[in-house]
A = this chain, B = another copy of it.
Amino acid sequence: MDTSVTDHLLSTTRAVRRKLDLDRPVEPEVLDECLRLALQAPTPGNQQAWRWLVVRDQEVKDRLSELFRRVGKAYLEANAAALGEAITEPSVARAFASGQHLIDVIDRVPVFVIPCLTGRPSGDNATDAAFYGGIFPAVWNFQLALRSRGLGSTLTTYHLTHEAEAAEILGIPSDVTQVGLLPVAYTTVPDFKPAARVPLSEVAYLDGWGNALS
Protein backbone atom coordinates (compact mmCIF):
# COMPACT_ATOMS: atom_id res chain seq x y z
CA MET A 1 0.00 0.00 0.00
CA ASP A 2 1.28 3.49 -0.82
CA THR A 3 1.86 4.80 2.70
CA SER A 4 2.67 8.30 1.41
CA VAL A 5 -1.02 8.53 0.51
CA THR A 6 -2.45 6.65 3.50
CA ASP A 7 -0.18 8.36 6.08
CA HIS A 8 -1.26 11.72 4.66
CA LEU A 9 -4.91 10.75 5.15
CA LEU A 10 -4.37 9.42 8.69
CA SER A 11 -2.26 12.40 9.81
CA THR A 12 -4.24 15.31 8.35
CA THR A 13 -7.88 14.49 9.06
CA ARG A 14 -8.55 17.28 11.48
CA ALA A 15 -11.64 18.41 13.42
CA VAL A 16 -12.95 21.00 10.94
CA ARG A 17 -15.11 23.85 12.22
CA ARG A 18 -14.06 27.21 10.73
CA LYS A 19 -13.20 25.80 7.32
CA LEU A 20 -16.58 24.19 6.60
CA ASP A 21 -18.08 25.54 3.35
CA LEU A 22 -21.61 26.52 4.38
CA ASP A 23 -22.71 27.36 0.85
CA ARG A 24 -21.60 24.34 -1.17
CA PRO A 25 -24.19 21.55 -1.28
CA VAL A 26 -23.16 18.00 -0.32
CA GLU A 27 -24.33 15.51 -2.94
CA PRO A 28 -26.24 12.47 -1.55
CA GLU A 29 -24.04 10.16 -3.67
CA VAL A 30 -20.82 11.34 -1.98
CA LEU A 31 -22.33 10.95 1.46
CA ASP A 32 -23.56 7.44 0.58
CA GLU A 33 -20.05 6.42 -0.51
CA CYS A 34 -18.60 7.66 2.77
CA LEU A 35 -21.29 5.90 4.82
CA ARG A 36 -20.63 2.65 2.93
CA LEU A 37 -16.95 2.98 3.85
CA ALA A 38 -17.97 3.67 7.47
CA LEU A 39 -19.79 0.31 7.51
CA GLN A 40 -16.53 -1.48 6.61
CA ALA A 41 -15.13 -0.97 10.11
CA PRO A 42 -15.25 -4.12 12.28
CA THR A 43 -17.89 -4.39 15.02
CA PRO A 44 -17.95 -6.72 18.07
CA GLY A 45 -19.26 -10.13 16.99
CA ASN A 46 -19.90 -8.55 13.56
CA GLN A 47 -23.22 -7.28 14.93
CA GLN A 48 -23.33 -4.09 12.81
CA ALA A 49 -25.60 -2.64 15.49
CA TRP A 50 -25.20 0.87 14.13
CA ARG A 51 -27.80 3.24 12.68
CA TRP A 52 -27.04 6.52 10.91
CA LEU A 53 -29.34 9.54 10.87
CA VAL A 54 -28.59 11.90 7.97
CA VAL A 55 -30.24 15.28 8.54
CA ARG A 56 -30.73 17.72 5.66
CA ASP A 57 -34.16 19.20 6.48
CA GLN A 58 -33.69 22.80 7.68
CA GLU A 59 -36.40 22.64 10.32
CA VAL A 60 -34.92 19.48 11.85
CA LYS A 61 -31.44 21.05 11.74
CA ASP A 62 -32.80 24.18 13.46
CA ARG A 63 -34.32 22.18 16.30
CA LEU A 64 -31.13 20.14 16.83
CA SER A 65 -29.02 23.32 16.58
CA GLU A 66 -31.00 24.81 19.46
CA LEU A 67 -30.05 21.84 21.69
CA PHE A 68 -26.45 22.03 20.45
CA ARG A 69 -26.17 25.77 21.20
CA ARG A 70 -27.82 25.51 24.60
CA VAL A 71 -25.10 23.14 25.85
CA GLY A 72 -22.24 24.48 23.72
CA LYS A 73 -22.62 28.08 24.90
CA ALA A 74 -22.71 27.06 28.56
CA TYR A 75 -19.67 24.81 28.03
CA LEU A 76 -17.59 27.53 26.37
CA GLU A 77 -18.58 30.09 29.02
CA ALA A 78 -17.67 27.76 31.88
CA ASN A 79 -14.34 26.89 30.22
CA ALA A 80 -13.55 30.56 29.57
CA ALA A 81 -14.22 31.39 33.23
CA ALA A 82 -12.06 28.49 34.39
CA LEU A 83 -9.20 29.48 32.07
CA GLY A 84 -9.12 33.20 32.99
CA GLU A 85 -6.00 34.88 31.57
CA ALA A 86 -4.83 31.65 29.89
CA ILE A 87 -7.53 32.13 27.25
CA THR A 88 -5.35 34.76 25.52
CA GLU A 89 -2.64 32.16 24.80
CA PRO A 90 -2.70 31.83 20.95
CA SER A 91 -3.50 28.09 20.64
CA VAL A 92 -6.20 28.31 23.33
CA ALA A 93 -7.68 31.46 21.78
CA ARG A 94 -7.79 29.72 18.39
CA ALA A 95 -9.55 26.66 19.84
CA PHE A 96 -12.13 28.90 21.51
CA ALA A 97 -12.76 30.93 18.36
CA SER A 98 -13.18 27.68 16.43
CA GLY A 99 -15.67 26.29 18.96
CA GLN A 100 -17.56 29.59 19.07
CA HIS A 101 -17.72 29.73 15.27
CA LEU A 102 -19.32 26.29 15.04
CA ILE A 103 -21.94 27.26 17.64
CA ASP A 104 -22.71 30.40 15.63
CA VAL A 105 -23.13 28.66 12.25
CA ILE A 106 -24.22 25.13 13.19
CA ASP A 107 -27.70 25.50 11.68
CA ARG A 108 -26.14 26.52 8.34
CA VAL A 109 -23.94 23.42 7.95
CA PRO A 110 -25.43 21.49 4.98
CA VAL A 111 -25.67 18.04 6.60
CA PHE A 112 -25.70 16.61 10.11
CA VAL A 113 -24.90 12.92 10.61
CA ILE A 114 -25.91 11.35 13.91
CA PRO A 115 -24.34 7.91 14.53
CA CYS A 116 -26.42 5.65 16.78
CA LEU A 117 -26.11 2.21 18.35
CA THR A 118 -28.99 -0.12 19.09
CA GLY A 119 -29.02 -0.75 22.84
CA ARG A 120 -27.96 1.44 25.75
CA PRO A 121 -24.59 1.62 27.57
CA SER A 122 -24.41 -0.30 30.84
CA GLY A 123 -22.32 2.13 32.88
CA ASP A 124 -19.61 -0.56 33.25
CA ASN A 125 -16.32 -0.13 31.32
CA ALA A 126 -15.93 -3.88 30.66
CA THR A 127 -19.02 -3.83 28.43
CA ASP A 128 -19.16 -0.15 27.45
CA ALA A 129 -15.66 -0.19 25.92
CA ALA A 130 -17.00 -2.83 23.50
CA PHE A 131 -20.27 -0.88 23.05
CA TYR A 132 -18.64 2.44 22.08
CA GLY A 133 -15.77 0.54 20.41
CA GLY A 134 -18.47 -0.90 18.15
CA ILE A 135 -19.24 2.46 16.55
CA PHE A 136 -16.39 4.98 16.87
CA PRO A 137 -14.08 3.11 14.47
CA ALA A 138 -16.91 3.34 11.90
CA VAL A 139 -17.45 7.03 12.73
CA TRP A 140 -13.74 7.70 12.17
CA ASN A 141 -13.78 5.63 8.95
CA PHE A 142 -16.62 7.90 7.81
CA GLN A 143 -14.67 11.05 8.72
CA LEU A 144 -11.58 9.75 6.90
CA ALA A 145 -13.69 8.91 3.84
CA LEU A 146 -15.13 12.44 3.88
CA ARG A 147 -11.63 13.93 4.13
CA SER A 148 -10.40 11.88 1.16
CA ARG A 149 -13.17 13.48 -0.92
CA GLY A 150 -12.59 17.10 0.14
CA LEU A 151 -15.17 17.23 2.93
CA GLY A 152 -14.66 17.94 6.62
CA SER A 153 -16.40 17.11 9.88
CA THR A 154 -15.93 17.09 13.63
CA LEU A 155 -17.30 14.79 16.31
CA THR A 156 -19.49 16.81 18.69
CA THR A 157 -21.38 15.55 21.74
CA TYR A 158 -23.04 18.72 23.11
CA HIS A 159 -26.57 17.74 22.12
CA LEU A 160 -26.35 14.43 24.03
CA THR A 161 -27.10 16.31 27.26
CA HIS A 162 -30.57 16.58 25.72
CA GLU A 163 -30.46 13.19 23.99
CA ALA A 164 -34.11 12.36 24.76
CA GLU A 165 -35.30 15.64 23.20
CA ALA A 166 -33.19 14.93 20.10
CA ALA A 167 -34.61 11.40 19.97
CA GLU A 168 -38.12 12.84 19.97
CA ILE A 169 -37.26 15.26 17.15
CA LEU A 170 -35.81 12.41 15.07
CA GLY A 171 -38.17 9.59 16.09
CA ILE A 172 -35.31 7.52 17.50
CA PRO A 173 -36.56 4.62 19.70
CA SER A 174 -35.70 4.86 23.39
CA ASP A 175 -33.48 1.75 23.31
CA VAL A 176 -31.18 3.32 20.71
CA THR A 177 -28.16 5.40 21.80
CA GLN A 178 -26.97 8.50 19.96
CA VAL A 179 -23.20 8.91 20.28
CA GLY A 180 -22.62 12.31 18.66
CA LEU A 181 -23.48 14.77 15.92
CA LEU A 182 -21.17 15.30 12.96
CA PRO A 183 -21.59 18.55 11.02
CA VAL A 184 -20.55 17.67 7.44
CA ALA A 185 -19.58 20.02 4.60
CA TYR A 186 -17.00 20.53 1.91
CA THR A 187 -13.95 22.34 3.26
CA THR A 188 -12.88 25.82 2.12
CA VAL A 189 -9.23 24.76 1.84
CA PRO A 190 -7.85 21.84 -0.18
CA ASP A 191 -5.51 20.42 2.45
CA PHE A 192 -4.64 20.28 6.16
CA LYS A 193 -1.44 19.81 8.15
CA PRO A 194 -0.60 17.19 10.78
CA ALA A 195 -1.44 18.35 14.32
CA ALA A 196 1.12 19.36 16.94
CA ARG A 197 1.19 16.48 19.42
CA VAL A 198 2.97 15.65 22.68
CA PRO A 199 5.96 13.37 21.99
CA LEU A 200 5.15 9.65 21.75
CA SER A 201 7.64 8.97 24.58
CA GLU A 202 5.38 10.88 26.99
CA VAL A 203 2.22 8.88 26.27
CA ALA A 204 3.44 5.38 25.35
CA TYR A 205 5.16 2.91 27.67
CA LEU A 206 6.80 -0.51 27.29
CA ASP A 207 5.64 -3.49 29.41
CA GLY A 208 4.62 -1.33 32.38
CA TRP A 209 3.36 2.16 33.20
CA GLY A 210 6.13 4.78 32.95
CA ASN A 211 8.76 2.54 31.28
CA ALA A 212 10.45 4.19 28.29
CA LEU A 213 9.25 2.76 24.96
CA SER A 214 12.74 2.60 23.45
Contacts and interface: CB of A to CB of B under 8 A. Distances in A.
Interface of A: 1-3, 5-15, 28, 32, 35-37, 39-42, 44-46, 48, 50-57, 60, 79, 95, 120-121, 123-130, 132-133, 136-137, 139-141, 143-145, 147-149, 154-155, 157, 160-161, 163, 170-173, 176-180, 194-195, 197-198, 200, 203-210, 213-214
A10 B180 contact: no
B145 A136 contact: no
Nearest to A29: B214
Contact of A129 (B11, B132, B203): B132
Contacts of A57: 207
How many copies of this kind of chain does the complex include? 2
- By Cβ-Cβ distance, the 5 closest A-B pairs, closest first, are A136-B136, A123-B123, A132-B132, A137-B140, A171-B209
A177 B132 CA distance: 14
23 contacts: A1-B148, A3-B149, A6-B145, A11-B37, A28-B214, A32-B200, A32-B213, A40-B194, A40-B197, A45-B79, A48-B197, A50-B203, A53-B208, A54-B204, A54-B206, A60-B208, A126-B161, A128-B128, A129-B178, A132-B136, A144-B144, A171-B210, A173-B209
A14 B42 contact: yes
A127 to B, nearest CB: 8
A163 B200 contact: no
Contacts of A137: 136-137, 139-140, 143, 155
A1 B9 contact: yes
A48 B195 CA distance: 11
Nearest to A11: B40
A170 B1 CA distance: 34
A126 B68 CA distance: 12
B180 A53 contact: no
A147 to B, nearest CB: 8
